[in-house]
Amino acid sequence: MKVIGITGGVGSGKSEVLAYLERHASCRVIMADQTAHELEEPGGPCYRPLTELLGERILAPDGRIDRKKMAAAIFSDGRLLALVNEIVHPAVKTYLLQEIARERQEDRYDYLFLEAALLIEDGYEQIVDEMWYVHAGESVRRERLKASRGYPDEKIDGIMRRQLAEQTFYERCHFVIENGGPFEDTCRQINEKLGEKLCQKQ
């Protein structure tokens, strides 16, 4: 089983690419953000440290962490954001390493695709066999974020300022998927890359 990291800027279309891979390859897909949400549930390894750090102000009435409240609590506070990341990121990485080891042992799939926006920044290059970069130009990504999430320009500006430069992605990734045009073209690139491994799962 090959472990492949999928990365790219916000709005590049990583989720769409992963959905296609799930349909057409023998694979498991793990999303780092989704994993973080699960680890932040009551009883999870991140729940108590986060509530001790940020207090009950981040909790929903049912006792779960309200992610919008947590985001508001750490907004514009670099120190708190760093402390939250110190709790969440190592826990996510530990979980992912365990799952990779388990899937290698069970040998059920050809691929395990791991999606995370911070694959490069968080050192996942040491974990995966290959890094794939899903690329779309800034103007395309902006339009997608406005259409799908309703983000204003100011919010998009802030997000993009915090992300790596395109050149860094190009230098550090093994394969680039150009996803700024028709999705049929994106599918063609994936099909050519996977070759005979394609469509092993219907």
pLDDT at residue 161, as a whole number = 87
Does 75 have pLDDT greater than 90?
no
Lowest mean per-residue pLDDT among 2-11, 102-111, 113-122, 184-193: 113-122
- Secondary structure in 3-state letters for the chain: CEEEEEECCCCCCHHHHHHHHHHHECEEEEEHHHHHHHHCCCCCCCHHHHHHHHCHHHECCCCCECHHHHHHHHCCCHHHHHHHHHHHHHHHHHHHHHHHHHHHHHCCCCEEEEECCCCCCCCHHHCCCEEEEEECCHHHHHHHHHHHHCCCHHHHHHHHHCCCCHHHHHHHCCEEEECCCCHHHHHHHHHHHHHHHECCCC
Q: pTM value?
A: 0.87
Across residues 157-185, what is the average pLDDT? 92
94 and 49: one domain?
yes
39 and 77: one domain?
yes
Across residues 188-200, what is the average pLDDT? 83
Percent of the chain with pLDDT over 90: 76
Task: Choose the final residue of a domain: 74, 89, 108.
Answer: 108
64 and 127: one domain?
no
186 and 98: one domain?
no
187 and 125: one domain?
yes
pLDDT at residue 107, as a whole number = 94
User: Domain residues for 57?
Assistant: 34-108
Lowest mean per-residue pLDDT among 67-76, 148-157, 191-200: 191-200
90 and 117: one domain?
no
pLDDT at residue 202, as a whole number = 42
Lowest mean per-residue pLDDT among 37-46, 84-93, 100-109, 116-125: 116-125
Task: Choose the final residue of a domain: 81, 108, 135.
Answer: 108
pLDDT at residue 100, as a whole number = 95
195 and 152: one domain?
yes
Helix (H) or strand (E) holding 41: none
173 and 114: one domain?
yes
Q: How many domains does the chain have?
A: 2
Does 30 have pLDDT greater than 70?
yes
Percent of the chain with pLDDT over 70: 98
Query: pLDDT, tens digit, for every residue of 164-175?
Result: 889 999 999 999
